Each structure stands twice: as structure tokens, then as C-alpha cells.
Amino acid sequence: YLENLQVQSLGQHDRKLCFELLECLLDRYPEAVVAQGDHLVYGICEAIEGEKDPHCLMHAFHIVEVVAQTFPDPAGPVASFAEDLFDIIGRYFPIHYTHPKSEDVDVSRDDLSRALMLAFSASPFFEPLAVPLLLEKLSSDLPLAKIDSLKYLSYCTEIYGADRMAKHAEAIWNSLRAVIYNLSEEPLSSLASDLSNDKHFQGNAITDEALVLLQKLVSQQNNGFLNLVLEDEAVNGLINLITVSRNFQCSPSQQEQKLCAVGNVLSVVAKASTTSCTRVFETVLPRLLGSLGLGVSSNVLLEDAVDRKS
């Protein structure tokens, strides 16, 4: 029917029926629809493009998810139409959906956002398109866009896998650093003053989601992402402020914000794995002890820790 029916020219009820029929065919008879190949995927693109009704969108996002999983072949139709498919669903991110409380609507914004997230992550062919879009939206001034971007990135990190996400590691870390330190790629000299402006650094949802993503990436990519964090100029600059000078030349609250920022990063990195914990221990603790005049090597500290544990 995709060939003879202009779905978007129909009313809401009939569009919903069309989507339900297509959804049923994909869910229950995947072997039969596979033979349609390019024709099927192209028809889906035409059918869902421009859809605005929340009920229809729930079906449309699920259709994209299922059809993407139905054609995993790199030479298949989803690979060929990946850019077209993602261009259509990418326009809906982040979900902006409100309705009067008086309306009897049983689809929430969270429902739509989760359905869209599943569609984003449904195929590895979406990765080159999805990750840059999510990073772009992460720089938005809208808190909801930031939170959704981080949630989607966390989910896509698990689904796309280490090899695909490694290509974006540096860009992701740069964006995460900006979120966690509440700045936008400013010089290190301005870092201290900017951090003090975030009065809810520990508790805000944006930072929490950023730290969740950070831990997932370190766990997944091991030394690759870990090196980006531990060798980062901003991170080391903050550690140096702590270890080199005991006088921060700022108020106690500002000092606390700095310690909180670097502490959150190092804490989640250390929790990611035994390897990352050891690296953080070896990198940071000797410098902290050195600032107190206690010149103890990291090897001695590690041996002592092992002895105590045994």
C-alpha cells in the first residue's frame, strides 16, 4: 500500500491505522517484508516524514527501530537510506511536546523521547549521524536538550559499541568537560571563576547525566578515554591549583567548587574499573602527598594498599 497511498495526506485516525498495519507486518512477518528491500524503506521514509501526531509518532519511531533491525546488512536498504531515515527522525530531537491538561492524551513526552532514543540507536548506520547531532544539541542553552543529549549518548554508547564510539572520544570528552565544569571551552585562567557560579554543581541533573556517561565511556574504552581525562589540561590545571599552591586566592565557596569539579571527574573515572582506579591513584595521590611534603612513590603506596588489604 506504500506505493498507492499517500499516508501523510490522510487524517490522523487513518494515518494511525496505516502505521499500525505496517508495524504489524514488520513485527510479525519480517521474512515477507525483507523482499521489498529498497522499496519498503523508501516508502517508510515518505509515510512518516512530517508526522506530528504523538500517537502516530510513537508508531513511526517504532517502525524505524524495527526496520533498522530487519536490515542489518551493510549492503542492505537501511544502510543505503540511513541518511534519509535519520534526517527524518533527527528533526524531532529534542522532543518538544506539550498538551493542555484538559486533553485526554495518554502519550507523554518521556514516552516519545524513549521511542525516539530506541530509533536513534537501532542501527549502527545511524552512528555517524546521531553522535554529532547529540553533541551539537549538548551545547544548547536549553537544559532539557542537554539532559536528553546525555541520556541518548549514554544509551547509544552501549548499543553502538567501543569501536564506533572511539571515533568520537575526543569530541565527547571536550563536550563533557564543558558540561561538568559549566563552561564553554574557555581558557584555564577563567575556569576557577566560572566554576563558582554553579551553585548546584553536585545536584543538577545535567552534571549527573554527564558523569554517568563519563563512567560508561571509561569502562568501555579503557585506556583510550582514560588518557583523554587524565592528560587533559583543564583537569591537570585544577590538580595543580590544589597541589602547587595552598592559597587559592578565592573564597572558600569558590575553592569548594573547584575541588568538587575535579573530585567528581576523578571519582567516577576511578569507579569505572580496577585499571582506571589504579591509574587515578598513581597519577593524583603522589602529587597530593608531595604538596604536603610527603615524597612517597606511587609504587610504595600501591604496595602498602595491597598489604593492608591482605
Q: What band does 254 get if pLDDT is binned at 50, 70 and 90?
A: low
Average pLDDT, integer, range 208-215 = 93
Q: What band does 194 get if pLDDT is binned at 50, 70 and 90?
A: very low
- The model's pTM: 0.83
Average pLDDT, integer, range 129-140 = 96
Locate the domains of the chain by residue range.
1-97+106-122, 123-310
Q: Which residue has the higher pLDDT, 238 or 57?
A: 57
Q: What pLDDT score does 288 carry?
A: 72
Of 22, 29, 80, 82, nearest to 51 by C-alpha is: 22
Phi, psi of 228, deg, nearest 5: -60, -40
Residues 5-54 have pLDDT tens digits of 899 999 999 999 999 999 999 999 888 888 889 999 999 999 999 999 99
Percentage with pLDDT > 90 across the chain: 53
pLDDT of 182 strictly over 60: yes
The answer to whether 140 touches 87, Cβ cutoff 8 Å, is no
CA quadruple 62, 68, 69, 70: dihedral sign: positive
pLDDT of 195 strictly over 50: no
Q: What pLDDT score does 191 carry?
A: 36
The answer to whether 33 touches 26, Cβ cutoff 8 Å, is yes
Q: What pLDDT score does 193 carry?
A: 39
Q: What pLDDT score does 3 carry?
A: 72
58, 59, 72, 90, 131 from 55: Cα distances, Å: 5, 7, 27, 18, 27
Q: What pLDDT score does 80 carry?
A: 95
Q: What is the DSSP letter of 93?
A: P
pLDDT of 295 strictly over 70: no
Whether the ω angle into residue 74 lies within 30 degrees of 0, i.e. cis, is: no
Q: What pLDDT score does 32 carry?
A: 86
Q: What pLDDT score does 284 carry?
A: 82
- Range of weakest confidence among 45-59, 65-79, 217-231: 217-231
Enter the CATH code of domain 123-310: 1.25.10
Q: Which residue has the higher pLDDT, 225 or 183?
A: 225
- Range of weakest confidence among 194-203, 228-237, 269-278: 194-203
